[in-house]
Structure 1
Amino acid sequence: MKDWKPGGTDPESRGSTIQSIDTSFAIVTALRERNGAGVTELADVTDLSKSSVHKHLRSLMKYDFVVKEGDEYRLGLRYLDLGAHVRAQIPGSSEIKHKLRDLANETGESAQFAVEERGRTVVLYREVSHGGVYSRGRVGRRFHMHQTAAGKAILSQYSDHWIHEIVDRHGLPEATPHTITDESVLFDELTEIRERSVAFNSEESTEGLRSVAVPVTGAEGDVLGAFAVAGPTHRITGDRFETEIPDLVRSIVNELELNLAYS
């Protein structure tokens, strides 16, 4: 295993920052969490003055990052353009989308492709079959890596050194009573994932949901992310959970890796 470094690691992240940018992102975050808000509400939740909030909103509106409807502000579609650009930078994006659609159709469940950035798992693509269920794993959602099958699959490709770095930075918070919260238990499971090339999640991020994930590596052997299939516990159980879906995900990932290597 190569000593892969977590994506987006910034040794200066704990240094000084520009206060005005911090303020703008606080406002943007508040708007996202509330699906829109007025100046007074934003000032209350961000602990800023109304005049400061209003100035930052005007700047964000100037570049279409925020729009105003009546007395409320909401995030603008400019973020969609940026998000599409960022997502397209992932190697093999088009092939990944096609394979993910195949995976969702063949399993009849929800399929995702996730990557790691700054020690978190980020969902880049999701396909939900006609009978699949929608979960918290929407596109753009960030998760603690130890809580998801995709996150554990990616972690299994990192050296112990970088896994310790991620755990030290983000900890092992509990999402459900089934979440791994002990570092030694996590390392034991990562050893098993390396041996079988598949990660399992049984209600560790969402109660009533199970998932299976396989890491995806690029032509140079670097980890690109992970494919995952998720569904309700009453459907993903027994041999389907332990053998059928893992074998299918592994086969589709193998096809994807071959296509990426020789395209």
Structure 2
Amino acid sequence: MDDTPRSNRPVTTTESSIRLLEQLKDRPGQTLDELAAGSDLARSTVHRHLLTLEDNDFLFREDGTFYLSLRLLDFGISARTRVPFFDVGRRQVDRLAEETGEKVWLVAKEGDFSIHLYKAFGDSPLRTSARVGQRRYLHQLAVGKAILAYLDADELEAIIDRQGLLEMTEHTITDEDELLEELEATRERGYAFNIEESIEGLNAVGAPIRDEDGTPIGGISISGPANRVKGAYLRNELPDKLLAAIDEIQINLRYS
């Protein structure tokens, strides 16, 4: 865990630019007036930020409408290359998707969140709103709970304090004692379940990828429709395949 303190004197102009980028990420294609209306900034200030971002190729404009530039993709791919398990993890994700026919995700832990790095679908027609690069709350996901289960107790408590336990569906665990009990069970078996906790009608199993010290740095999940991914298939068959893939990743990390 990095103990470097965060700045208590943020650069407000930088924060304003970031908020505008986030507005365009959440709703692509907005005009100056729409972006100004969605922010707490004056229209003239928003205009200056947009022009600066456009001049540096972080935005492009078409018929008066602003969009995120694909230059940002270059930054994201560059960031992903620093993930030590990405290449070997991606191969295992592809193999699991082919073996199971289900949707498989590779994620990394960064700070208090999980980041979706790579996905494979197998034969599954399942499509959800999850996308590569998306940041998610750990407690809402099978792989996120698997990561939480192996964190140092102080870091776990700090994440809960900072982020809370926000509800995604009526099945999301929002009680801390209930979550801690489930994390204990997760440590005992080595994997976690998501029973319609992030998306109604979706079940998943997830397991952590850990470094040489045992600290979770990412993980893999396998998910599918709740009417099919259930029972012994969810509780036994998929976890066995998942843990075998995790073992291969960790062996590769240890001896690479």
Q: TM-score, normalised by structure 1?
A: 0.93
Deviates more, 1:87-96 or 1:126-135: 126-135
Deviations 1:77-123 (A, max 9, x none): 11100000001100032111111111111111110111222211211
Please tell me whether residue 16 in structure 1 is matched to residue 9 in structure 2.
Answer: yes
Task: Give runs of aligned pairs for residues 105-184 of structure 1, distance below 5 A.
Answer: 105-184=98-177
Task: Give yes or no for the alignment of 1:50 onto 2:49.
Answer: no
Match of 1:27 among 20, 25, 40: 20
Letter in 2 for 1:147: Q
Unaligned runs of 5+ in 1: none
- Displacement after TM superposition at 1:9 (Å): 6.4
State the distance in 2 between where 1:209 and 1:184 align.
24
Identical-residue share of aligned pairs (%)? 36
AA of the residue aligned to 2:216 = V
Q: Which runs of structure 2 are paired with 1:215-254 in the superposition (5 Å)?
A: 215-254=208-247
* Kept after mapping to 2: 8 A contact 1:108/1:132: no
Equivalent of 1:210 in 203, 226, 238: 203
Residue identity opposite 1:22 in structure 2: E
Equivalent position SS for 2:38? helix
User: How many residues of Structure 1 are paired with residues of Structure 2 in the alignment?
Assistant: 256
Aligned-pair distance for 1:29? 1.1
Structure 2 unaligned segments of length 5 or more: list them: none
> Distance between the aligned counterparts of 1:205 and 1:170, measured in 2?
16
Q: Quote how far apart the aligned CAs of 1:125 are.
A: 1.2
More deviation, 210-219/227-236: 210-219
2:253 equivalent to 1:260: yes
Q: Which amino acid aligns with 2:5?
A: P
Inter-partner Cα distance in structure 2 for 1:10 and 1:173 = 26
C-alpha deviations, 1:6-27, integer Å up to 9, x for none? xx665325x2211111110111
Separation in structure 2 between the aligned mates of residue 23 and residue 141 of structure 1, nearest angstrom: 21
Contact residue 9 and residue 118 of structure 1 kept, 8 A:
no
- What SS class does the counterpart of residue 201 from structure 1 fall into? strand
Q: Distance in 2 between matches of 1:184 and 1:250?
A: 27
**How far apart are residue 49 of structure 1 and its match?**
1.9
Shift of 1:144: 1.3
Q: What is the CA RMSD across the aligned residues, in angstroms?
A: 1.4
**2:6 alignment partner AA:** E
Say which is worse superposed, 88-97 or 74-83, in terms of deviation.
Answer: 88-97
Distance 2:230 2:203 in 1: 8
